[in-house]
Amino acid sequence: MRTQVGIVGAGPAGLFLSLLLQRAGIDCVVLESHRRDYIETRVRAGVLEQGTVDLMDDLGAGERLHREGMLDPRLDIRYKGGVIHIDLPALTPGKIVTIYGQQEVVKDLIAARLGRGGSILFEAEATHITGLDGSRPTIHFKHNGQNQTLECDIVAGCDGFHGICRGSIPEHLLTVYDRVYPFGWFGILAEAKPFPEMTYSSHERGFSLASRRSPTLSRLYVQCGAEDDPADWPDRRIWDELQARLYDATGAELHEGKILQRGVIPLRAFVAAPMRHGRMFLAGDAAHIVPPTGAKGLNLAAADIRVLSRALIEFFRTGAMDRLDRYSDTCLKRVWKVTRYSNYMTSLLHRFESSTPFDQSVQQAELDYVAGSLAGQTTIAENYVGLPFEED
């Protein structure tokens, strides 16, 4: 097989890219190792920045998002000093976020891609890539029990943190920045009336977060041990911890219900640079991971693709490689700002066993400062709704 752009991975990064290239008349093939139903039901992120919503609209894939997504104008932070109400439109004029599950985004993008005659090969696992130092790299993959190849002009490594593309870059050419946090999140999706506001909570028992997916579906998280197993968290423990960590949330706020999905999410901040090797360009989790405290992973993947698609369209239209040559530096500027914010929110809201009384006092003072400072609240608000895009 041959194409202009071989895209490894049908997560948000790969799907956004495939639709933008298809619209520009650039031939691309998407290889996805899992089945369609598996990736369409994988519960992950939930908060979309306006830039990501705009991208869905720009691609004509935003109709259900506007019908079923929930506009979220506020963010609450609970801590022992009280509740900090962060009013997004007041602090970042006119900006808000939309709550819409990542699996719904993936469903809409797959439907748009296939509906427009684009190809996605499901259960097609890329095993390795050859020819990256030349101008005709080849992606080797397994599909229908056959070893197959996809020759391309460009490889887009959109295969997530555990994919093979980043590993195709010779180690001595890659610089990796890594921080593994000493805890994880235990997340549940429950058939229960959600908490009234997006609520982060910093509590001596640990962090918790109350989010939602619909007026009848709650998405809830509690800080847990990095090595915890879901079996360590029976339903009663989950609800008791949520109730305690959300400062004795009342029955009018925290509704229990049937838990439909549960899982432990490790927390990590990871950046690989450069996000390019020869004719291969990394985007999304293949290049960087941010702790979900900032609600940024999916949005950062979309931001990478915004830059990469523009560079690829210029390349295929004019042969110019300037934008492609600037791709990694352009993306990494945003990646590091988003990593900074996600690390800040993680450090601000979680309990660290290694914390000294000094550390705990500084953390408390930071929350007290934000509670009393419009500047402090504006800093959180402008990062949460999404930083402006710098023209690349």
Q: Using CB under 6 A as the criterion, which residues of the chain lie in contact with ligand PHB when the complex forms?
A: 45-47, 209, 211, 219, 292-293, 295
Residue of 127, 128, 151, 154 lying closest to 277 (CA atoms): 154
**Cα distances (angstroms) measured from residue 10 to each of 15, 79, 121, 310, 331:** 5, 39, 9, 19, 20
Q: How many residues does the structure list for the chain?
A: 392
Q: CB 45 → ligand PHB: shortest distance, Å?
A: 6
Burial of residue 208 (CB within 10 Å: 0-12, 13-18, 19+) is buried
Q: CB 236 → ligand FAS: shortest distance, Å?
A: 24
Q: CB 373 → ligand FAS: shortest distance, Å?
A: 26
**Cα distances (angstroms) measured from residue 146 to each of 10, 17, 163, 246, 298:** 20, 26, 20, 52, 32
What residues does 261 pair with on adjacent strands? Answer: 189
Judging by DSSP bridges, how do beta strands 124-130 and 47-48 pair with one another?
A: unpaired
Scanning 5-13, 52-60, 174-182, 230-238 for contacts with ligand FAS by CB under 6 A, the matching segment is: 5-13
**Identified binder of ligand FAS from the candidate list 29, 32, 195, 233, rule CB under 6 A:** 32
Nearer to ligand FAS among residue 25 and residue 100 (C-beta): 100
Nearer to ligand PHB among residue 219 and residue 276 (C-beta): 219
Letters for 150-189 (x = contact with ligand FAS by CB under 6 A, - = none) are --------xxx--xx-------------------------
Q: Does 279 bind ligand FAS (CB under 6 A)?
A: no
Q: CB 357 → ligand FAS: shortest distance, Å?
A: 31
Distance CA 261, CA 190 (A): 7
**Identified binder of ligand FAS from the candidate list 296, 306, 334, 350, rule CB under 6 A:** 296
**Cα dihedral sign for 283, 288, 293, 294?**
negative
The site for ligand FAS (CB under 6 A) is made up of 8-14, 31-34, 39, 44-45, 102, 125-126, 158-160, 163-164, 265, 284-286, 292, 295-298, 301
